[in-house]
């Protein structure tokens, strides 16, 4: 399907790896111009950048610390000058940093800065460009933790819950400007980071099987590409009257009874 994203300039935070990387690749397939904002250096994602070059995608990469507002402002300004437009933002960057109640209020504040405040900062500085676009859109990548909780990660849970609240707030706030705002909520997504976490456990295969048993649709992890496909659709004019929505791309994980074990056939 042609999603009418050709030449659209879309910032993807945390776009150098995991879900963000998959979103960047999917945008490239749709002939958009993905712009990667990431803490990693260009050398650390050389393979991705080379692939985009081969595919003749006129995108960009900026290494920055998203918690530093001056760096965000400078990066957005640079992209605006280079392309003359910004049509979309994917607030994807974040980290489940295990800042729980046993940590200090200062640690909690830092977690919010890493996972929520930086999202506000990117949108704030890009807003004038978005308002000038003919089909502007924002997609916030949240987490099942905002809905279900997890335990031991107060900062991340609060940040992702706040991101869902901002999705609804911004959708209302920006409706008169034609800026659509939606959120995608992943649950158990198979990424290199997830695989690395599993590898630290005593029996990774058993733990993966246990997790997948609680995912009703297919008893499998969600693929990063599946998050990317939904995100890309929401960024596109094909979703032209969809705003303020929270979409769970999780194989039914969040909305089905945890005791569900499938049906006999």
Q: What are the φ/ψ torsions at residue 249 (nearest 5 degrees)?
A: -110, 85
Alpha-carbon gap, residue 16 to 206, rounded angstroms: 30
Alpha-carbon gap, residue 94 to 228, rounded angstroms: 16
Q: What's the token pair of residue 106?
A: 């200062």
pLDDT given at position 259: 57
Q: 61: which residues sit within 8 A by CB, 6+ positions away?
A: 16, 35, 36, 38, 42, 45, 49
pLDDT given at position 2: 86
Q: Does an H or E element contain 167, and which?
A: helix 154-173
Query: What residue ranges do the domains of the chain occupy?
Result: 9-188+223-249
Q: Does an H or E element contain 258, and which?
A: none
pLDDT given at position 159: 98
pLDDT given at position 257: 60
Task: State the pTM of this model.
Answer: 0.92
How much is the mean pLDDT over the chain?
92
Name the residue among 119, 102, 193, 204 with its Cα closest to residue 153.
102
Helix (H, G, I), strand (E, B) or coil at 140: strand
pLDDT given at position 58: 80
pLDDT given at position 151: 93
pLDDT given at position 117: 98
pLDDT given at position 258: 61
pLDDT given at position 12: 98
Catalytic residues: 156
**How far, in Å, are 20, 23, 26, 229 from residue 224 at the CA level?**
8, 8, 10, 9
pLDDT given at position 265: 40
The CATH fold of domain 9-188+223-249:
Rossmann fold (3.40.50)
pLDDT given at position 262: 59
Strands (E), the chain: 9-13, 33-38, 60-63, 88-91, 137-141, 180-186, 189-190, 222-223, 246-249
Low-confidence residues of the chain: pLDDT under 50: 265
pLDDT given at position 99: 96
């Amino acid at each position: 399907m042609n999603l009418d994203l050709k030449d659209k300039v879309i910032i993807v935070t945390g776009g150098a790896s995991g879900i963000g990387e998959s979103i960047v690749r999917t945008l490239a397939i749709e002939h958009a111009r993905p712009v990667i904002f990431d803490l990693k250096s260009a050398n650390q994602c050389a393979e991705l950048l080379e692939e985009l070059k081969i595919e003749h995608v006129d995108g960009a990469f900026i290494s920055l610390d998203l918690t530093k507002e001056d760096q965000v402002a400078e990066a957005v300004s640079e992209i605006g000058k280079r392309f003359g437009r910004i049509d979309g933002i994917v607030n994807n960057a974040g980290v489940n940093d295990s800042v729980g109640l046993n940590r200090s209020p200062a640690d909690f504040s830092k977690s919010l800065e890493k996972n929520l405040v930086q999202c506000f900062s990117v949108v704030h500085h890009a807003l004038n460009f978005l308002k000038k676009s003919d089909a502007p859109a924002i997609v916030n990548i949240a987490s099942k933790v905002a809905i279900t909780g997890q335990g031991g990660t107060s900062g991340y849970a609060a940040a992702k819950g706040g991101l869902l609240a901002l999705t609804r707030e911004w959708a209302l706030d920006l409706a008169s400007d034609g800026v659509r705002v939606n959120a995608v909520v992943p649950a158990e997504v198979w990424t290199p980071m997830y695989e690395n976490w599993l590898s630290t456990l005593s029996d990774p295969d058993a733990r993966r099987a246990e997790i997948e048993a609680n995912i009703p649709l297919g008893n499998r992890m969600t693929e990063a590409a599946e998050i990317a496909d939904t995100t890309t659709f929401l960024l596109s004019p094909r979703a032209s009257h969809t705003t303020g929505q929270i979409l769970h791309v999780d194989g039914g994980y969040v909305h089905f009874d945890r005791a569900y074990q499938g049906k006999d056939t």
